[in-house]
Every structure is written in structure tokens, then in C-alpha cells.
Structure 1
Amino acid sequence: MLPDPSPTVTVDGLLLRPLRAADEIAAREADAELHREGFDFLMAGTRSFPAIRRAFAAEARGDVEPGRVPASFYVGVDEAGELVGRVSVRWELNEALRHVNGHVGYAVRPAFRRRGHAARLLRGALTLLAARGTPTALLTCDETNTASVATIRACGGVLRDRVETDLDGAPFPEPKLRFDVPTTAA
């Protein structure tokens, strides 16, 4: 039997779970908030919310387009029931993801920052990767993203290297840092 493509996990009161239909308003609000910062929370474009949820479920099952990998999208819900952020867990890495982006991507809504939610999102993702047999996760972030650097290090991340160009040799607007993070430290 195949493992549940998107199991849930709770880390210090923060529940990581797939999107539900009832999350649409909060998820759209989060998408708008983070869009103002240049971040695509839902990775959805103009698709309908049911289409977004179907696409995430297909990726979690491994039903992916060429060039993509199986991945699960989770929202982080606090003890008050508030959607505080999201985390994407990539169960495999292709060449592009091994270069930048890695196993995990996360974001916390502006109103919920500086409360430890990013670390809980990341620890939850690391726990899920460990359960699937991934001993070390690759995480990347912009060199100037000091909050993310601190979160990754707090979760056991060790700097691997600094990357200045994409796979084709084009320079990034700012260098990326790549970290190895043991999933067992979660």
C-alpha cells in the first residue's frame, strides 16, 4: 500500500494539513498579502479554488507534468484555527530543485510572523520527509533573508554553499544560500 500522499502533522500546536474547501477565504487573503511581497502563496494564477485544490492533490499523488516532482502543499493552522502560513514539501528532487529551492518552501503571513510559526512549519516538513525516508533535506533561501537563514539554522541547517547563477549560468538577482538540514532533528 502506498503511503498517504499528504499526511497531517502537528508541531507545538501548529497543524499542517492539506487545503480544504473551507480555507478559500483565508487562503486567498494570504495569497494577496504575500503577493504584495512578491511571493506566490497559492502558486495558482487565476485558477478557481477547486482547481487549485485538485492540482495540489494530483501533485501529492505523484500525478505531475514533466519537469515537476511529487509534492504536498500544506497550510499551517494555529490553535485558534487561523491559517498562519504554508509549506510545500517536495518528495523528490530534480536537477533544478537540487540547484535551488530544494525539498521545502514555506511562508508565513505578515500578521503571524515573529511567533515561531516558520520554524514549526519547517519542523513539520522535516518530520514528514523523515517518515518517507529522506535523511537530509536541502533548503535554500536568498542570502539577505536573515529570518529564513535563522529559521533554517534553528532547525539544524548547515550551510552547504552559496549559489549565484541559475542552471543556465544567468545570475540571480541576489545569491542563494543552500543548507543541508537533518530531518531527524525535527
Structure 2
Amino acid sequence: MAPQLIAPTVAVHASFLAAMDEFRADGAESAPHSTLAGELTTWHSRWPTAEGFAEYVELVGGVMSNTRADGVVPMTTRWWVDGDTYLGRCTFRHHLTPSLLNWGGHLGYGVRPGARRRGHATAILRAALPIAHHELGIDPVLVTCDDTNTGSRKVIEACGGIFEDQRDEKLRYWIPAATAAGQQPRRPV
């Protein structure tokens, strides 16, 4: 079976824990403005138990319905898995705040350190575009990366990213999701 983007599931518990250990060893807890960093800090002591992991899966598997006071917008999370092996994830932000428009974008994706440089990031982004278009109505999709992250820049460009500009340390790309999903693109509003 080929890897696929799926809703979070308890079926990948063991490999998820191993992946989080890899992220922690890679310094992910100290990444500024990272959802993963916050989750590593908040959930690391609860993930090992079946009950704690199930609670986490239920939380990230659902969709927040409103923008929170701290500016967090409604999000959908999908995990990139191969069978029962957790390889990475993609987070879809349903709309953009001024901060997300400048630095964060609609999509955030990450591949566990032990599975990097095998094409997973490109595959995640390619699989995410039809979900953004068909399920969430996001088109075009804004994806950003650090100006020093050559690998992520190449992933975005390989998936049809059209460079718009650089804001501070972030490169900003728009990807026409409908075109990636094999349909005619909508005009941006």
C-alpha cells in the first residue's frame, strides 16, 4: 500500500510516538510559531497512554468551528501514513488572518526526521491540494517556507507553487488547487 493522507487515528500510536521522539531530538519543540512545537510541549506526557493518545486523536481529528481569541483559525489535520506507520502530517487552515497571510499560509506540513529526503513532503503537498479544493473550498492555496529552507521551496515549486514575494524570512507561494486537482481554477476573490 502507498502512503496516504488520512484522518488522525489511534492505529498508528506506536509509530506516532517514535516520530514524536524524532521530532523532539531534531529540536522541533523550540520552533517558533509551530503547532507541532506546542503539541510536543502540551501532549508529550499524555501521548504514551492509550487514553491520552485517543483524546489527542479526537482533538486533532475534529475541526474547530470558530477562530479563537488567540487568533488560531479553524483547522483540519490529516496524517501521512503507510499502513500503521506515521510518516508526517498536513494541517489545513481554513482561512487566513493577517499573520497567516504574511507568514503562515493555508497549509503546514511536516515529515518525521527518519522519513525525510524520500519524496514524502512533495507527496503530502500533492495529496493535500485536492482536499483543500474539494473538501475545504480553498483555492488558490497559500504555502510559505523559510527563505533558508531550500528543500521546502523545491517541494512547493514542484507542486505548482507560484512565487509571489518574500516577507521577512518567509517566501510566499500560491498554488492553484483546482488545477492540481485536475479542474479549472477559480478566480481569487
C-alpha contact (below 8 Å) 1:161/1:178 kept by paired residues: yes
Residue 31 of structure 1 corresponds to 20
With 16-25 and 122-131 compared, the bigger mean Cα shift is at 16-25
Quick one: structure 1 residues 64 and 29, their matched pair in 2 at CA, closer, same or farther if it must change by over 3 Å?
farther
| C-alpha distance in structure 2 between counterparts of 1:57 and 1:64, whole Å | 17
1:20 to 6, 9, 22: 9
Q: Equivalent residue of 2:131, what SS?
A: helix
| C-alpha distance in structure 2 between counterparts of 1:110 and 1:134, whole Å | 29
How many residues are paired up?
163
C-alpha contact (below 8 Å) 1:136/1:180 kept by paired residues: yes
* Higher strand residue share: 1
| C-alpha distance in structure 2 between counterparts of 1:106 and 1:152, whole Å | 11
- Structure 1 residue identity aligned to 2:105: G
Please show how residues 99-110 of structure 1 align to structure 2 within 5 Å: 99-110=102-113
| C-alpha distance in structure 1 between counterparts of 2:28 and 2:100, whole Å | 18
Percent identity between the aligned chains? 33
Residue 75 of structure 2 corresponds to 71
Q: Equivalent residue of 1:96, what SS?
A: helix
| C-alpha distance in structure 2 between counterparts of 1:121 and 1:33, whole Å | 19
Deviation at 1:42, TM superposition (A): 7.1
Q: Does the alignment pair 1:154 with 2:148?
A: no
Return 5+ residue gaps in structure 1 as ranges.
Answer: 1-11, 165-174
Q: Does the alignment pair 1:121 with 2:115?
A: no
| C-alpha distance in structure 2 between counterparts of 1:147 and 1:72, whole Å | 24
With 42-51 and 92-101 compared, the bigger mean Cα shift is at 42-51
| C-alpha distance in structure 2 between counterparts of 1:18 and 1:139, whole Å | 21
- Structure 1 residue identity aligned to 2:130: T
* Higher helix residue share: 2
C-alpha contact (below 8 Å) 1:155/1:185 kept by paired residues: no
Q: Deviations over 1:67-112 (max 9, x none)?
A: 111111111012x542111111111111221111111111112222
Taking structure 2 as the reference length, the TM-score comes to 0.77
Return 5+ residue gaps in structure 2 as ranges.
Answer: 30-35, 47-52, 181-189
Deviation at 1:178, TM superposition (A): 0.8
